[in-house]
Structure 1
Amino acid sequence: MSYQIKVMTQKQAEDIAFNWRYEGEYSFYDMVADEEDLSEFVDPESRESSTYAVMSNKDLIGFFSVNKVSEHTFDIGLGMRPDLTGNGYGLNFLNKGIKFVIKEFKAERITLSVSTFNQRAIKLYKKVGFKEVNTFMQKTNGDCFEFLKMDYDCRKGV
């Protein structure tokens, strides 16, 4: 699959927020599961130009959000269209996103946080080269959940 990454449009944000539904425990990642996250995602001013749509041809297949932490460190959030998850597309998708962040933002480090129950994602992040930093508790989706902070050294290459 080849990917193109561009600033997300309002229509794309609304499609993800209101139409993408994950199965089972992964419904945790449905945008409607947390009102605050949903509000930020669909509000163009909150989203600004830090959220990117990932396209394959004309199909919206995922997104990346990129937030500056320090001069050369960026925190990412990402999601893949529910019908594509668990089918072996994650490695290429994640590598494309990492390369994009390195090229566009001159990143030297990339961080991300993932719910500790999501072992499928954690396994992928480790395979790409992310290292575990620490765990922390975060309020979201009406409760408090454990998350894992991970770090990627861009200077080691993708």
Structure 2
Amino acid sequence: MTYKFEIMTQEQAEEIAHNWHYDCEYAFYDMGADEEDLTEFLDCKARGNSMFAVMMDDELIGFFSVSQAAANVYDIGLGMRPDLTGNGRGREFLQAGMDFVQLRFTVDKITLSVATFNQRAIRVYRKVGFKDMDTFMQGTNGSTYEFLRMVYECV
């Protein structure tokens, strides 16, 4: 499959924020689950040039954020459209995003953080080659949750 990454438009942000709803414990990832995250996601200035819509055949299928964490280290965040999750597409989606980052920037490491309850995503990240770094607690969605920080060595 061919994925296309483009700077997210306001219309795409609105679509994701208001119409993408995940099932069961994954509702944690609904944009509306945290008011602060939702406000930032819908603010085009806050998104800047770091939030990308992921398209396939002119269809919005995901989003991918990229921010520089340190020299040649980029932190990513990602999400697939809810109806596409849990169907074995995560590895390909993640790899396409990683390829995009490595083509666009000079990258030694890619980092990401994931809620520790999300073992489905953690398995995908490990299969691609991410290694566990550490865990930390973060306030979001009205409570405090444990997250796993992971790193992928590009060199």
Asked if these proteins are the same fold (TM beyond 0.5), I'd say: yes
Q: Could you say what secondary structure the match of 1:111 adopts?
A: strand
Q: How does 1:6-17 map to 2 (within 5 A)?
A: 6-17=6-17
Partner SS, residue 124 of structure 1 = helix
| Separation of aligned partners in 2, 1:70 and 1:26 | 30
CA RMSD of aligned residues (A): 0.6
Which whole-Å CA distance do the structure 2 matches of 1:50 and 1:98 have between them? 14
Shift of 1:2: 1.6
Higher mean alpha-carbon deviation, 99-108 vs 129-138, is at 99-108
Q: Distance in 2 between matches of 1:154 and 1:65?
A: 18
Partner of 1:144: 144
| Aligned pairs for 1:104-123 within 5 A | 104-123=104-123
Q: Structure 1 residue 107: deviation in Å? A: 1.3
Q: Indicate the residue corresponding to 1:80 in structure 2.
A: 80
Unaligned runs of 5+ in 2: none
Q: What is the CA–CA distance in structure 2 between the aligned matches of 1:16 and 1:54, rounded to whole Å?
A: 12
- Measured after TM superposition, the shift of residue 36 of structure 1 is 0.6
Question: Match of 1:4, as an amino acid?
Answer: K
Alpha-carbon distance in 1 for matches of 2:94, 2:77: 11
Q: Which residue of 1 aligns with 2:39?
A: 39
User: Amino acid of the residue matched to residue 97 of structure 1?
Assistant: G
Structure 1's unaligned 5+ residue stretches are none
In the alignment, the residues of structure 2 paired with residue 14 and residue 107 of structure 1 have an alpha-carbon distance, to the nearest angstrom, of 31
**Cα distance in 2 between the residues matched to 1:125 and 1:58:** 26
Identity %: 59
Q: Give TM-score, length-normalised by structure 2.
A: 0.99
CA distance in 2, matches of 1:128, 1:77: 15
Tell me how far 1:10 sits from its aligned partner: 0.6
Counterpart CA distance in 2 for 1:130 and 1:144 is: 24
Question: Using the alignment, how far apart are the partners of 1:78 and 1:20 within structure 2?
Answer: 13
> How many residue pairs align between the two structures?
155
1:29-83 CA-to-partner distances (Å, cap 9, x unmatched) read 0000000100110100000010001000111000100011112001000000000
The corresponding residue for 1:54 is: 54
Taking structure 1 as the reference length, the TM-score comes to 0.97
Deviations 1:81-123 (A, max 9, x none): 0000001111110000000011101211000000000000000
Q: Distance in 2 between matches of 1:90 and 1:2?
A: 14
1:68 aligns with 2:101: no
